[in-house]
Structure 1
Amino acid sequence: MQVLERPWGRMHVRVEGDGPLVLLANSLGTDLRLWDDLLPLLPPGLRVARFDKRGHGLSDLGGAVTVEDLADDAVALIESQGGPAVVMGVSIGGMIAQALALRRPDLVRALVLSNTAARLGTPDSWAARIAQVEGQGLAAISDGIMERWFAPAFRATPQLASWRNMLARTSPDGYVACCRALARADLTADAPALSCPVLMIAGTQDGASPREVVEATARLIPNARLAVLDAGHLPMAETPEAFAAAVSPFLKEHAHA
């Protein structure tokens, strides 16, 4: 098991392969296993680094957190691998990727921003989510989250149970800490300063970050490309073949840049 020591505790990481570095950042309520089905479909000759956010997976909790704090954790992982990297993030992972590129452009070759935006939700919507988790636990919201994460066809498969369990078994404190980070995070004014190549991915059936929200952020970023998939919020898990087809040409173009 690979661990990166951070000031707040131990961060669980996994680095596989040899070649140009690609960093993957997970969504809220998932751990680094989110990318398992995608990895065999990516172009060969890449070194892929993944990590569990604070309070997720096998990482320590780490207390209160901001999106910028989470970006600093990603910076530490890239630096430990000699960077720079193509950074691929989904949902909050996409916000981490944006914050990372704004803070440390020297470490980012390109960005893949999946099912994310410069701002996700509102302070009121996150406050309501936090109150529900603190009052009832993650299991109480898991079915509703599954409807936001996945298209109906995928929700009818046996695979859904594993994703529901991953969410329900996340640390409530870690989940709430990231909800509070999202409630405060707004990169709208900063997004136009992203100067690296950017590929944004939207899902036609995304109930968490709807297509129009992703497209609005794509319009803020100079020369951002947009790919639209017939999938929900986590296309790397729901439709890994289609996701790989969308990102692989971009990776081939920029990972060796």
Structure 2
Amino acid sequence: MSIAEGTNSTAVLPGPRTREQLHHLKVAGYDFTCRVRTVSRASVGRPIVLLGGALMDMYDWRLIEARLPADATIITFDLPGFGGASALGDETVAGYELQAEAVVVALDHLGVNQVNLLGYCYGAVVACRLLAHRADRVARVVLANVSEVVTPESRKLLTHAAELAEQDRIEELCDVLCEHTLGPRDREALSKATRFGFKDVRQLPHAAAALRRARDAHGDAMRQAREITVPLLVICGEHDAFTPAWSGLRLAEGCEGASSVVLDTGHTPLLEAPDVFVGHVMSHFTAP
């Protein structure tokens, strides 16, 4: 593993002395970026690492960040195969392993010993690989909209979505994903918001590879999920057809001491119920 030197940049964000710093790093020859949001008042809590879905980049957490504690240190990523990072052609479990390794490289670079970790969908799988190898770096973990297996219906959806992404048929891709991921409440408004966000998918050249990796390597990447020993909360969506609630609940039941909650959402609680979602996340992160 190697770290790029002299490639950090800092921006001061609107609000009470909030600072955002980008760290441009390398892992096994792949470029990636770590984004760190801090405030001048030191936080008493551990930094919060956010690992997102297959079509998310390091800036797609704004809705959640706005609801996290104002003094929290928040770390997001463009891991290899995401956003502006290097392309990652490996669609096997080794791709997930490399992404998890990149998180450790970033924590070492930042001098952060231990974090609270939130993994959503694809990011939950990366989180599981991180926990399989370096559980000592994680104090508490939340896995949201996670499944141990890819159902036949989800496999079909991922195949179709990867084809649309590869062919740059972004509007159709958005239609398909909205149809299969949003819950029944406020579907029209959420669909419009999602379509607005998907304008950036054209700038995410790794989407097809990430979707195929999620389809083909998911099972191998989740094979040790029930061996998680750090305090675990699994968040499920009652109406989630992509990562069904029953699968997330089964995972929680298989992990000693884990807890679970089912929200009145589909696959996108970050959009559908962000206040409720963050409430559960922070209750877990701050539990004694």
- State the TM-score, normalizing by the size of structure 1: 0.87
- Distance across 1 between alignment mates of 2:284 and 2:139: 11
Q: Once superposed, what is the RMSD of the aligned Cα atoms?
A: 2.4
Higher mean C-alpha displacement, 127-136 vs 89-98: 127-136
Partner of 1:84: 114
**1:207 is matched with which residue: 225, 241, 257?**
241
Give the C-alpha shift of residue 58 in structure 1.
2.5
Partner of 1:227: 261
- Identity among equivalent positions (%) equals 21
Higher mean C-alpha displacement, 29-38 vs 82-91: 29-38
- Distance across 2 between alignment mates of 1:78 and 1:33: 19
Give the C-alpha shift of residue 171 in structure 1.
2.9
- Distance across 2 between alignment mates of 1:128 and 1:143: 12
| Structure having greater relative contact order (Cα 8 Å, sep ≥ 6) | 1
**Which structure 1 residue ranges, 5 or more long, are not aligned?**
none
Partner of 1:144: 176
- Distance across 1 between alignment mates of 2:174 and 2:241: 14
**Which structure 2 residue ranges, 5 or more long, are not aligned?**
1-8, 10-21
The number of aligned residues is 252
Contact 1:35/1:237 (8 A) holds in 2: no
- Distance across 2 between alignment mates of 1:14 and 1:136: 28
Tell me the SS of whatever aligns to 2:287: helix
Give the C-alpha shift of residue 217 in structure 1.
1.6
Give the C-alpha shift of residue 165 in structure 1.
2.3
- Distance across 2 between alignment mates of 1:196 and 1:144: 36
Larger Rg: 2
Give the C-alpha shift of residue 132 in structure 1.
4.5
Matched, 1:71 2:112: no
- State the TM-score, normalizing by the size of structure 2: 0.78
Higher mean C-alpha displacement, 17-26 vs 86-95: 17-26
Give the C-alpha shift of residue 57 in structure 1.
2.3
Matches within 5 A, 1:12-161: 12-17=33-38, 18-19=42-43, 20-65=46-91, 66-81=95-110, 82-121=112-151, 125=156, 126-135=158-167, 137-157=169-189, 158-161=192-195
Give the C-alpha shift of residue 12 in structure 1.
2.6
- Distance across 1 between alignment mates of 2:203 and 2:148: 25
